[in-house]
């Protein structure tokens, strides 16, 4: 993990954020609480630190050992019960540590915490451990051992295996359907060829391995697992039907050697695909330091705020000329009214002068 660059936040803001003139007057841009970013980045560095992950793995392993020891009555009663009480205290301490770890991750990652399905798994395991386990709910007490499965989420290699397993489920479903069809075909053939006869090797009076379809399916399943298939099943049938080895050898080759290896091939292929996808996703989000990721998120928010402020500043000069035109129009109207009144007064004065001159002439 790379160490975070000092001043990365300020440098990113100065280099990438668009320049905007500072607004005049009392109008100020919306301020961001810069102090909030520092504790969050520190918490991310804490929960992503290698020593912290190692500590989580150690606590999980110790808690698994404690849960195993608590199943022994001899261990619980050792030392007049002091060993049992000490183990219970260790179990409670481990659970408290897990709760604190989940709390730190929630505060550090915030909404990003819920984007990782492994975090959901850890949260569910801790919540199950917090449920009251009374005598009527012994299942909840037994489910405390699920905390051991957190080891899968804590070790990346194990997470890759589980991811590959889930990725292989669709292909394994198709292979399972194919295997079921093979079993069904051979079971029907086996009932017709070898049913209705008691064979030795099982029970006092013998056993009919192909009495009906259900028993034939179970017999073929045992043969597929290669568990006592030759000595326990095939040889007693061959004592009655010497050529039956052709049927069973063909079934073993198709089911055990072909179909089961098909499952393994699908699983290996899925794990390779999961590994390739994991390597392809090692982009900046996976390689960069978590603190730098938090700074990038803050930088995106700052850019959005600057863009909004820039829009506001562009709208204000557009409104200013309109505001200046209104007084100018009012002054022009007033000037026009004054000029009209002056013309009217001048005409009236001229008319009065002409009238007075006519009276004097008369």
25 and 149 part of one domain: yes
- Report yes or no: 12 and 295 within 8 Å, Cβ to Cβ: yes
Task: For 205, list phi and psi in degrees, rounded to 5.
Answer: -100, 10
Tell me: pLDDT of 37 over 80: no
82 and 130 part of one domain: yes
Tell me: pLDDT of 15 over 50: no
231 and 132 part of one domain: no
23 and 42 part of one domain: yes
Q: Name the residue with higher pLDDT: 27 or 346.
A: 346
Q: Containing H/E element for 284?
A: helix 284-287
**CATH number, domain at 82?**
1.20.120.350
276 and 179 part of one domain: yes
Is 349 part of any domain? no
Dump pLDDT digits (tens) for 112-124: 888 887 788 888 8
pLDDT of residue 330: 63
Of 229, 169, 217, the C-alpha closest to 189 is 217
Dump pLDDT digits (tens) for 164-204: 888 888 888 888 898 999 999 999 999 999 988 888 767 67
Q: Name the residue with higher pLDDT: 294 or 19.
A: 294
Beta bridge partners of 207: 199
Is 94 part of any domain? yes
Domain boundary among 258, 280, 302: 280
Tell me: pLDDT of 302 over 60: yes
Question: Which domain range does residue 265 map to?
Answer: 161-280
244 and 276 part of one domain: yes
Highest mean pLDDT among 162-171, 235-244, 353-362: 235-244
pLDDT of residue 284: 47
The band of 38, judged by pLDDT with boundaries at 50, 70 and 90, is very low
Is 330 part of any domain? no
User: What is the number of domains present in the chain?
Assistant: 2
The band of 16, judged by pLDDT with boundaries at 50, 70 and 90, is very low
The band of 40, judged by pLDDT with boundaries at 50, 70 and 90, is low
Is 57 part of any domain? yes
Q: Containing H/E element for 340?
A: helix 290-361
Of 51, 55, 39, 38, the C-alpha closest to 1 is 51
pLDDT of residue 280: 67
Domain boundary among 90, 119, 154: 154
Write the CA distances from 69 to 58, 73, 129, 239, 297, integer angstroms. Answer: 17, 9, 18, 52, 46
């Amino acid at each position: 993990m790379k160490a975070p660059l000092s001043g990365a936040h300020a440098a990113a803001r100065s280099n990438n954020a668009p320049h905007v003139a500072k607004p005049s007057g009392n109008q100020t841009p919306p301020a961001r609480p810069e102090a909030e970013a520092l504790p969050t980045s520190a918490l991310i560095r804490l929960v992503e630190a290698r020593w912290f992950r190692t500590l989580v793995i150690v606590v999980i392993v110790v808690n698994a050992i404690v849960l195993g020891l608590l199943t022994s009555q001899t261990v619980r009663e050792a030392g007049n019960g002091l060993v049992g009480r000490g183990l219970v205290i260790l179990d409670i301490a481990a659970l408290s540590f897990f709760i604190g770890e989940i709390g730190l991750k929630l505060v550090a990652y915030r909404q990003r915490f819920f984007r990782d399905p492994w975090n959901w798994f850890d949260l569910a395991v801790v919540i199950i451990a917090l449920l009251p386990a009374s005598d009527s709910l012994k299942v909840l007490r037994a489910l405390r051992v699920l905390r051991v499965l957190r080891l899968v989420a804590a070790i990346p290699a194990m997470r890759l295996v589980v991811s590959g397993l889930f990725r292989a489920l669709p292909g394994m479903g198709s292979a399972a359907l194919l295997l079921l069809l093979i079993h069904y075909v051979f079971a029907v053939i086996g009932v017709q060829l070898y049913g209705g006869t008691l064979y030795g090797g099982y029970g006092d009076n013998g056993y009919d391995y192909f009495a009906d379809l259900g028993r034939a399916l179970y017999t073929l399943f045992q043969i597929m697992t290669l568990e006592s298939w030759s000595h326990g099943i095939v040889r007693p049938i061959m004592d009655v039907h010497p050529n039956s080895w052709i049927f069973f050898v063909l079934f073993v080759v198709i089911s055990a050697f072909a179909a089961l290896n098909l499952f393994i091939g699908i699983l290996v292929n899925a794990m390779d695909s999961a590994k390739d996808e994991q390597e392809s996703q090692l982009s900046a989000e996976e390689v960069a330091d978590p603190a730098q990721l938090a700074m990038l998120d803050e930088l995106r928010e700052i850019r959005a705020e600057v863009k909004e402020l820039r829009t506001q500043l562009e709208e204000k000069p557009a409104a200013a000329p309109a505001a200046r035109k209104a007084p100018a129009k009012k002054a022009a109207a007033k000037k026009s009214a004054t000029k009209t009144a002056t013309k009217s007064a001048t005409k009236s004065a001229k008319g009065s002068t002409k009238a007075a001159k006519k009276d004097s002439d008369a």
